[in-house]
Amino acid sequence: MMNKITFDLISIFPDYFAPLKLSLIGKAEENGLVEIKIHDLRDQAHGVHKSVDDTPYGGGAGMVMSPEPWGAAIDQVLASSDATTHELIVLTPAGEKLTQVVAAELATKEHLIFACGRYEGIDHRVTEHYRTVPGVRVRELSIGDYVLGGGEVATLVTMEAVIRLIPGVLGNPDSLVEESHSLPENVVEYPNYTKPASWRGLEVPEVLLSGNHALIKKWRTEQAQTRTRKLGEQTGE
Ligand code: ADE
């Protein structure tokens, strides 16, 4: 059976998701491999000002997103889904780090809900509540140690990493097989070259022109290892 994943994205800025119509993800949706539904959180805000945030209890700078519109939006998404299990992904710099391993795991799920917070984040009770709902798994995810203005761009990053791993999305699945050999500890690839063989005085490494596949494989492995080691020296990991 085809592994079709439904993505429900909830945000106060639905226009952020326009790029999902492009390229690989746009094609994946056209081909029925994914279904992407975008929801405006503001539709669930019912005051005169359609406000979705308020000042933090205990004081402090900034605003916190109110639990009611989030509860209403997520309940509606869950009610309209025929999936049996749901991943509720909440983007936050305080979350678990998005890695290739996490992306690969998400690519096996049937329903992913992305909650894109803004300001100082979403009232903590929202994740607390959905952790108790049967069939829902809450996952707080961070795309890196920096603070974005909101979860929308982090959602785009996560979706791109996940969707290319869905069977049938990439034209040439061999590239996935090559990647998976180096998981989980190493996602760094060897350097790639194409024609011309000589460009601005720089030559393509001789071994790649040799036609000796065993030798090429060995060279590429060494190159990937060297790059990984250098990266580790830079980042102290
Ligand atoms: N929201 C704000 N910063 C973020 C980050 N680094 N990752 C995920 N969501 C975020």
The tens place of each residue's pLDDT in the chain, 237 residues long, gives 566 999 999 999 999 999 999 999 999 999 999 999 999 999 999 989 999 999 999 999 999 999 999 999 999 999 999 999 999 999 999 999 999 999 999 999 999 999 999 989 999 999 999 999 999 999 999 999 999 999 999 999 999 999 999 999 998 777 776 676 555 555 689 999 999 999 999 999 999 999 999 999 999 999 999 999 999 898 877
Cα separation, 208 vs 220, in Å, equals 9
pLDDT at 164: 97
Cα separation, 57 vs 90, in Å, equals 21
pLDDT at 180: 61
- Structure tokens of 161? 């990493």
Cβ–Cβ under 8 Å, residues 91 and 154: yes
- Quote the DSSP letter at residue 84: S
Cα separation, 27 vs 39, in Å, equals 21
Cα separation, 43 vs 73, in Å, equals 8
For 41-187, where are the alpha helices, taking DSSP H only?
67-79, 100-106, 125-130, 152-163, 174-181
pLDDT at 178: 66
- Identify the residue whose tokens are 């961070």: 142
Cβ–Cβ under 8 Å, residues 227 and 190: yes
What is the model's pTM? Answer: 0.92
Rg for the chain (alpha carbons), in Å?
A: 22
Cα atoms in the Cβ-side hemisphere of radius 13 Å centred on 29: 14
Residue 214 in contact with ligand 1 by CB distance below 6 A: no
Q: Pocket of ligand 1, candidates 127, 146, 148: which has the most ligand atoms within 8 Å of its Cβ, to mutate?
A: 148
pLDDT at 185: 54
If you measure from the C-alpha of residue 153 to the centroid of ligand 1, how many angstroms do you get, rounded to a whole number?
A: 8
Cβ–Cβ under 8 Å, residues 41 and 69: yes
Residue 20 in contact with ligand 1 by CB distance below 6 A: no
Residue of 163, 105, 160 lying closest to 137 (CA atoms):
105
pLDDT at 173: 76
